[in-house]
Structure 1
Amino acid sequence: MSLPRIAMPARLSDPEGADARVGLANAIFDDVAELVRSEDLDVVVVRTADLAGFDGLVLPGGGDVDPARYGGDTGAAVYDVNPAQDQLDLDILAAALARGIPVLGVCRGLQVINVALGGTLVEDLPASSVLHTPASDGDGGLAWTWHDVTVAEGSHLHAATGATTIPVASGHHQAIGRLGSDLVATAVADDGVIEAVEHTGAPVLAVQWHPEAEGTPVALAAAPFAAFADLVHARMASPAVG
């Protein structure tokens, strides 16, 4: 029996000579794909929004969504704004929502979901008690920062982790401002930044952190992908789909 087919939109930015964060996002794309495959799901990298024959969608990390997409400050400190990437990610998400197939967002993926559903983003997070942005590794590269998040009981994420507090690897300078329609926060950092969301009526979940980051405990790395896989299998088992 063939494995469920999961679409992942390609990263379209060239890291050569770009912000170091572009290279990091492109490098960890394969790590995200491997975590999807570890749940016995087949990953297909796509460059169009055609989801015919697909059973799920994973939106990975990347650069910043154009603030013009959500009425934000276009003069803010943003990086790697790529109109083609925004269009691909938003179009493929719209196709997934229209077809009712499960969606998992990681970092930028969470932000794309929020913007698509009418929410806003904080263009550049102010300093707080929690360090969210990637730090220098001392060799010209970037290193994850780590902090705890509080997970909402009753959420898919809580079911997958079995915990109400988990450590996460962080590497973002933006975050959700106003929540999009029908989204609820399912994990929050100590400074109030929303770290995970789920949709109240569609099989959609997303995390702001990077479960694929090196050093993440194996079970916590797998948790969002296991929750996503459960949604995929549940939809495939539905009489309406079969």
Structure 2
Amino acid sequence: MSLPRIAIPARLSDAEGADARVGLANAIFDDVAALVRAEDLDVVVVRTADLAGFDGLVLPGGGDIDPARYGGDVSAPCYDVNPAQDELDLDITAAAVAAGIPILGVCRGLQVLNVAFGGTLVEDLPGGHVPGADETGGLEWTWHPVAVSAGSRLAAELPTATVSVASGHHQAIRDLGAGLIATGVAHDGVIEAVEHPELPIVAVQWHPEAEGTPLALASAPFAAFADLVRAHSASVLRG
């Protein structure tokens, strides 16, 4: 029996000579794919929004979404704004929602989902917010606690209600997209996880693939996603 096929949109920015954070995002792309494969799912890197034959979508980390996409401040200090990446990620998200296939978002992936559902972002978190990028440009993880909502898909895969996670982002959700609910929050109020109660969607702002993350915590979002994929595949087979 073939494994469920999971699409991951390629990262389109070349790390050569670019902001060092682009190189980091490109490097951990493979780590995200490895965690998907660990759930007995087949990973296919794609460059179009055609999801025919796919059973799920994973939206990985990367640069900042163009603030113009959500009516934000286009003069804000953003990095690696790539119109082609925004188009691919948002188009493939719309295709997955239309097809009803499960979606997992990680860091930028959570932000893409929020914007796709009409939400907005904080363009640049002020100093003092626990997930903010440090003075090295976000190349070191910031570890901090997140409270995960009881009864959420994510909580079902976690050993405790509060977990210590690794973050490296300077943006966050400002206004939640329509239908999305916050299922994980840092102590400063930054939304760190979202789900959709009616659609097979789960996303985290932190980086479960970060080195030093315990296996149970690293695998939790991917296990929740895998459950959604298998439930969706079973419903398709039942017709």
**Alpha-carbon distance in structure 2 between the residues aligned to 1:47 and 1:101:** 18
State the shift of 1:142 in Å.
Answer: 1.7
TM-score (norm 1): 0.96
Superposition pairs of residues 39-78 of structure 1, within 5 angstroms: 39-78=39-78
Instruction: Name stretches of at least 5 consecutive residues in structure 1 with no aligned partner.
Output: none
Q: State the match for 1:171 in structure 2.
A: 168
Instruction: Give the letter aligned to residue 45 of structure 2.
Output: V
Distance 1:17 1:167 in 2: 33
**Higher alpha-carbon deviation: 55-64 or 142-151:** 142-151
Conserved 8 A contact 2:138-2:168: no
TM alignment of 1:1-242, pairs within 5 A: 1-128=1-128, 130-134=130-134, 136=136, 142-238=139-235, 242=239
- Percent identity for Structure 1 against Structure 2: 75
Per the TM alignment, residue 129 of structure 1 is displaced from its structure 2 partner at its CA by 5.2
Deviation at 1:241, TM superposition (A): 6.0
Distance in 2, matches of 1:135 and 1:87, equals: 30
Letter in 2 for 1:163: T
Give the AA of the match of 1:192: G
Deviations 1:11-32 (A, max 9, x none): 0001111111100000000000
How far is the alpha carbon of 1:220 from its aligned partner?
0.3
1:78-105: per-residue Cα shift (whole Å, max 9, x none)? Answer: 0000000000000000000000000000
Q: Cα 1:121–1:213, aligned 2, differ >3 Å: closer, same or farther?
A: same
1:132 CA drift (Å): 2.8
Cα displacement (A) at 1:239 = 5.0
1:172 Cα deviation after fit: 0.1
Contact 2:9-2:47 at 8 Å conserved across structures: yes
Alpha carbons of structure 1 residues 15 and 241: separation in structure 2 relative to 1, 3 Å: farther
2:163 maps to a residue whose letter is: I
| 2:128 partner SS | coil
What amino acid maps onto 1:118 in structure 2?
G
Q: Provide the aligned C-alpha RMSD in A.
A: 1.4
Amino acid at match of 2:84: A
What is the DSSP-based 3-state SS (H/G/I as helix, E as strand, rest coil) of the residue aligned with 1:231? helix
> What CA deviation, in whole Å up to 9, does each residue of 1:136-191 have, x standing for no partner?
3xxx9821110000000000010010321001000000000000000000000000
Quick one: distance in 1 between partners of 2:63 and 2:146?
A: 23
CA distance in 1, matches of 2:190, 2:209: 20
Residue type at the aligned position of 1:29? F
- Give CA-to-partner distance per residue, 1:48-88, whole Å, 9 cap, x none: 00000000000000000000000000000100000000000
How far 1:200 moved relative to its partner?
1.9
- Please give the secondary structure, in 2, of the residue aligned with 1:143: coil
Give the Cα–Cα distance (whole angstroms) in 1 for the partners of residues 35 and 69 of structure 2: 30
